[in-house]
Each structure stands twice: as C-alpha cells, then as structure tokens.
Amino acid sequence: MEKLEMIQQEGLSKIHACANASELQQLRVLYLGKKGPVQEVMKTMKDLPAEERPAFGQQVNAVKSLLAEAIEKKRAELEQKEMLEKMEEEKIDITLSGYRPSLGTLHPLTVVQQEIEDLFIGLGYTIAEGPEVELDLYNFERANIPQDHPARDMQDTFYINAEELLRTHTTAIQTRQLEAYAPKLPVKVICPGKVYRRDDDDATHSHQFTQIEGLVVGEHITMSDLKGTLEFMAKKMFGEAREIRFRPSYFQFTEPSVEVDVSCHICNGKGCSVCKGTGWIEILGSGMVHPNVLKMAGYDPEKCSGFAFGVGIERVAMLKYGIDDIRHFYTNDIRFLKTFTRFE
C-alpha cells in the first residue's frame, strides 16, 4: 500500500516537472504501459487474500487514473505552451504596409453624369442619347433656331458641311426624341452627351464639354413642375439645405426661359469666393418647351406642354470638387483621376 502511495507521489511530481512532450510520452509509457511500477504493484495482487483483492484493485486503478489525468492535463498544458512559443516566433512587423489592391476610378464627368442619371431614373425617366455628328435640322432648325437667327451667334458651331455639324448642345437629342415619340405622351427623358463649340481652350472654356438635359412633355406640365423638379435635383446633388432661384433668360427652344441659381453649397448663401459674394451659383438653363418646338416635332401645343432643362457637367463637377481648370478633365493626369477614388 505504501508502495502504491509512493508510486503515486513520485509519478505526480515527475509529471509535474516534465518539460516537453517526449518526456511526457515516456512517463505515459512508464505509468500507464504494461511494464511500469503500477503494473508491478498490480502483479502483487495475486498474493493477497481473495477478500482484499477488490479493494486493492480499486486503489491501483484509482492511482492509475489519477496519473492518466495528470498526464493529460500536462499534455494540454505543454501543447498550449508550445503553440504560444510557436506563435511568438511568428511575430511580424504590423507597421509594414499591407498589399493594397489598387482600385481604378470613374472619370469625374462620369461620376456626375451617373449621379444625375440615377436621380432621374428614380423618378421614372429613361436615358436618351443621340449622334454627336448631327444634322443642322435637329441641332438648330427643330430647336427653333432658324438659319441666320442671331441666336446662332451664341453658339459658334463646328460645321462639317452645310447640313452636318458637331452638335452644340444636347438639345439635339431632345428634338430627336420628340420626333420619335410624337404624338405619344408622356415624354420623360434625360439626355447626356458630349457637345462642341468653337471656343479656345483655357481654364474656363473648352471646345468639347458635356451636357445633360432633361425633357418632360405631358398633358398638364407647368412651370412650377419645372421648379419642383429642379429643386429636387439641387437638393440631391448639393445637399438638402439648397434652395433654387429662377432668373428670366432667353433660349430659342423654351418660352418662358429661365436661368437657375442654386444657393451656394460652400457658404450656405452667405457669400464667398465660389459664389462671388452673391450667395447663389448659376447652374442650369431651363424653361417651358417652346410651342414651335412641339409643333415641329408633331405635337399639338394646345394639347400638351413640357419643360426642359440643361446643365453643364463640367461646371457641376468643378463646383462639387473645387476643380479650377476645365482642361484637367481632358488631360487625364493620373494624379487628377486618382482624386476620385473615394465614395461620396
């Protein structure tokens, strides 16, 4: 009995002192295998009287399972320690830079164009496009700008021949759309596209630029509908606090015609360098579709009315992002393009 107790004590202290997995394995073989000291004691059981044997057996088994338990505990302990040591060896310098997959960017003109498109798609508009090499007919005549009209001076045109030109405004898309739809109602389209005018390129002028126009024709479309629609757009694009203001103006294809100012998004209308101290930024041209334009397209102006508006995408992008030179849009300096990596 004393022997068993000794074995137990000796075993436990050996297990406790064990420093690595292989030593522990030796101890396991020694104490739990077929030839160890515990087995030796077990062998002495046959010399005992029969009535003592069960109690003795139980004691030996208790010692055995005690040791097995201690070994298992030690094993888990060692494994844990080993894992910790291994991980410590695996320590890295987390300040080294990560592998950053480089993301491309949409051109800022695309960003603004898509933003406006999506806004109006949400209102049930479709997107219409048309040829950049356009007929005088659709660019001018159908827009109520006849030959020799002084308004043609407003837009110096790149002519290709007497009939063809590079469109000077996306109104050409509108006149085509009207012709294609007439006499169906309603018409609800957004017309984006590149346009061209004879301007020398400098910080604020570009012979090529991008417009986006909207056109709605229906049975009872009013000028206040135009105001509501543009207010919606201004708020979505420049913030909910924006207000708009109409100023009378003149375009051949609309009557009445207005220029639309949006309260300055930089200074909230207090006056700053962006709005030149006025609190307002001119952003859009718009108006009620001229009865002649409706008529030429095949609509009866007595039975329907409509509004149209147009905005220069470069101008919006310049205002939104604080871009100071329109030529940046067409130079494609990668440092410029990378400005637009961020979500807004």
Partner 1 sequence: MNISKKWLSQYMDIEDLTIEEIADRITAAGSEVEGIFRMSEGSHLVIGEVLSCEAHPDSDHLHICQVNVGSTVEQIVCGAPNVASGQKVIVARVGARLPGGEIKASVIRSQPSNGMICSLVELGVDPHSLSEESKNGIEVLDEDAPVGCEDPLGYLGLDDAVMDVGLTPNRNDCMAAWAMAKEAGAVLNRKVTLPSCDEAADTGVKGRLKVASTTDKCPLFLGKVINSVTIKESPRWMRKLLHAAGMKSINNVVDISNIVMLETGQPLHFYDIDALPAQEITVKDHMTEVYTALDGVDYQLEKDDLVITSEGKPIGIAGIMGGNDSKIEDTTRGIIIEAAVFHHVSIRNTARRLNLGTDASIRYQKGIEPLATFKAMDRAVQLLIEYADAKDMEETVQYGTNNYEPVSFTIDLTNINTLLGTDFEEGEVMDVLQRLDLQPVKKGEAIQVVIPSYRTDLMMEADIAEEIIRIIGYDRLPSTMPTMPATVGALDPRQQLRRKLRTTLTALGYHEAETYTLVSERLIHDGVMPLDDAISLASPMSEDRRFVRSSILPSLLESAAYNQARSIKDLALFEISNVYGKSAVEERLAVVMNGDIQKSRWQKLALTADFYTVKGLVESLFAHLGYDKKRILFKENTLDTVHFHPYQSAVVYLGKDVLGIIGKIHPQMAKEYSVTKETVMAELRLDVVLKNKAAKVKFKPLSKYPAITRDLAFVVEENVQVQQIADSIERHGKLDKEHIITDVEVFDVYTGEHVEKGKKSIALSITFQSAQRTLKDDEINEVHQVILSALEKDVHAVLRG
User: Out of 15, 27, 288, 296, which residue is the one contacting partner 1 (CB under 8 A)?
Assistant: 288
Instruction: Tell me the closest approach of the beta carbon of residue 1 to partner 1, in angstroms.
Output: 59
Adjacent-strand bridge partners of 260: 246, 284
Number of alpha carbons in the 13 Å side-chain half-sphere of residue 92: 5
Q: How far, in Å, CA of 57 to CA of 331, rounded?
A: 93
Residue (of 81, 66, 76, 83) closest to 5 by Cα position = 66
Identify which of residues 24 and 221 has a Cβ nearer to partner 1 in the complex.
221
Pairing of strands 126-127, 187-196: parallel
C-alpha dihedral (338, 342, 343, 344), degrees to nearest 10: -90
Q: How far is the CB of 160 from partner 1 (least distance, A)?
A: 6
Strand partners, 250: none
Residues 165-184 binding partner 1 (CB under 8 A) are 166
Closest CA to 41 of 72, 7, 9, 14: 7
Is 322 a binding residue for partner 1 by CB under 8 A? The answer is no
Residue with tokens 């905005």: 311
State the minimum distance, in angstroms, from the CB of residue 64 to partner 1: 44
Smallest gap from residue 262 Cβ to partner 1 (A): 14
133 binds partner 1, rule: CB under 8 A: yes
Residues 183 and 306: their CA atoms lie apart, in Å, by 13
Q: How far is the CB of 14 from partner 1 (least distance, A)?
A: 47
Only segment of 6-14, 34-42, 65-73, 97-105 that touches partner 1 (CB under 8 A) = 97-105
Site for partner 1 in 195-234 (CB under 8 A): 196, 198, 200, 207-208, 216, 218-225, 227-229, 231-232
Which of 182, 258, 262, 275 contacts partner 1 by CB under 8 A?
A: 258
Residue 236 interacts with partner 1 (CB under 8 A): yes or no? no
- Choices 38-46, 59-67, 72-80, 330-338; region in contact with partner 1 by CB under 8 A: 330-338
Closest Cα partner for 286 from 156, 128, 174, 138? Answer: 174
Residues in 135-154 at the binding interface with partner 1, rule: CB under 8 A: 148-151, 153-154
